[in-house]
Each structure stands twice: as structure tokens, then as C-alpha cells.
């Protein structure tokens, strides 16, 4: 037997059926799409429709909830900060805050500020000004000779409104 004697099994390679090429082909006229309607037109696929079977997004249970008062922090590990300082993308001599981390491309998003986490090592003496920090991160930074200042985040909107209402009541009482 030689390589040129080898052939596929019969039926292993089926030629594709050319649809919509005349009624003599057996797949002409409507081309297997039935009669009129949305599904017979081109460019239409009903998203998530599984042919009458219960769709996956309805078979799976709902999970969790959206906390309207949840904080959105950009989480940054001290090991990554050290990498960026070594690569001279971040200046460790100035105070490192949310703006500095964002400019370096280290903190993305985080509308409520940056939270410093303790993964990795830090050798540089760096001063941080962040919205939150883990105990491990604070210990590691202070061990390297730096300091971490945790800024108090703004009060939630509903607390601000309550404080304003109380101030207005006090002003009217006078």
C-alpha cells in the first residue's frame, strides 16, 4: 500500500447542498424555510430562541442582587505597584493616589476610589493616599518604610440628604 492508494471511506466527505437553485433540485423555491414570515426572510435569527425548548437563560436560576449602596473600588496589589515603580511607569517619590495610579494605567474604573491589597512584595518607600487598604497591605508598606493614608469616602447620597434636611429644620427653628 502506498500513500496514493489511500482513500476516504465512502460517505466521509459529503458535498454541501446548494439551496435555492430551482425546484428540480428538491431544495429550491423556499429553500427549506417554509412559507412567509419573519423566519423565512434573510438576516433574522431570534436571539436566545432554542426552537421552543426552554432557553438557557430561563433554565438557570437567578443569582444574587445588585446592591445600590455597594462601593466600586479599583483594586490594586502592592506587587503590581512595585513592578510599575521598577519599570518607571509610576513615580514612587510623590504621593501615590487614585489619579497617579489611573495615569500609570494601574487602576481602571473604581468610581469610589482605590483599595490597596497585599498581594506581592513592595521594596520601595512609597506614600499612599487611598480610599481603602487591607491590613496586610498596610503592614507591608510600613515595613518597607512607607505610609498609607486611608481617606474617608464621601457619605452616600441618602445620608447627605438626611443631613441637609436636619440642617434645614434647625435653620427654620431659629
CATH number at residue 84: 3.100.10.10
Within a domain: 65: no
Question: Which residues are bridge partners to 116 per DSSP?
Answer: 76, 133
Q: 93 and 126 in contact (C-beta within 8 Å)?
A: no
Within a domain: 162: no
Question: Which residues are bridge partners to 133 per DSSP?
Answer: 116
Within a domain: 29: no
Within a domain: 120: yes
Task: Report the predicted TM-score, pTM, of the whole model to 2 decimal places.
Answer: 0.55
- Per-residue pLDDT, 127: 93
DSSP letter for 39, please: G
- 16 contacts: CB under 8 Å, gap ≥ 6: none
Query: Residue holding cell 412559507?
Result: 35
Within a domain: 19: no
Within a domain: 39: no
Give per-10-residue mean pLDDT for the chain (174 aa): 93 92 90 86 83 94 92 92 91 88 89 91 92 94 92 70 86 82
- Per-residue pLDDT, 37: 84
Cell of 107: 487602576
Instruction: Count up the domains in the chain and report the number.
Output: 1
Within a domain: 11: no
Within a domain: 52: no
- Per-residue pLDDT, 153: 63
The residue range of the domain holding 103 is 78-150
Q: Is 115 helix (H, G, I), strand (E, B) or coil?
A: strand
**DSSP characters for 119-174?**
-S---S--EEEESEE-HHHHHHHHHTT-EEEEPPPPPPHHHHHHHHHHHHHHHHH-
- Per-residue pLDDT, 154: 61
Q: At 76, give phi and psi (nearest 5°).
A: -130, 130
Dist. CA 173–CA 86, nearest whole Å? 60
- Per-residue pLDDT, 165: 87
Q: 156 and 69 in contact (C-beta within 8 Å)?
A: yes
Looking only at Cα atoms, what is the longest distance across the chain? 108
Amino acid at each position: 500500500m502506498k500513500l496514493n492508494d489511500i482513500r476516504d471511506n465512502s460517505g466521509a466527505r459529503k458535498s454541501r447542498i446548494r439551496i435555492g437553485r430551482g425546484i428540480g433540485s428538491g431544495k429550491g423555491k423556499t429553500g427549506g424555510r417554509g412559507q412567509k414570515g419573519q423566519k423565512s426572510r434573510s438576516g433574522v435569527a431570534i436571539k436566545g430562541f432554542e426552537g421552543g425548548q426552554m432557553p438557557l437563560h430561563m433554565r438557570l436560576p437567578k443569582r444574587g442582587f445588585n446592591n445600590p449602596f455597594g462601593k466600586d473600588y479599583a483594586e490594586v496589589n502592592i506587587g503590581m505597584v512595585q513592578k510599575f515603580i521598577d519599570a518607571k511607569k509610576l513615580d514612587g517619590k510623590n504621593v501615590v493616589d487614585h489619579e497617579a495610579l489611573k495615569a500609570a494605567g494601574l487602576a481602571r474604573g473604581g468610581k469610589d476610589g482605590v483599595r490597596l491589597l497585599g498581594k506581592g512584595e513592595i521594596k520601595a518607600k512609597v506614600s499612599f493616599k487611598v480610599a481603602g487598604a487591607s491590613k496586610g497591605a498596610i503592614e507591608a508598606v510600613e515595613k518597607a518604610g512607607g505610609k498609607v493614608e486611608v481617606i474617608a469616602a464621601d457619605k452616600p447620597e441618602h445620608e447627605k440628604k438626611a443631613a441637609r434636611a436636619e440642617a434645614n429644620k434647625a435653620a427654620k427653628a431659629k
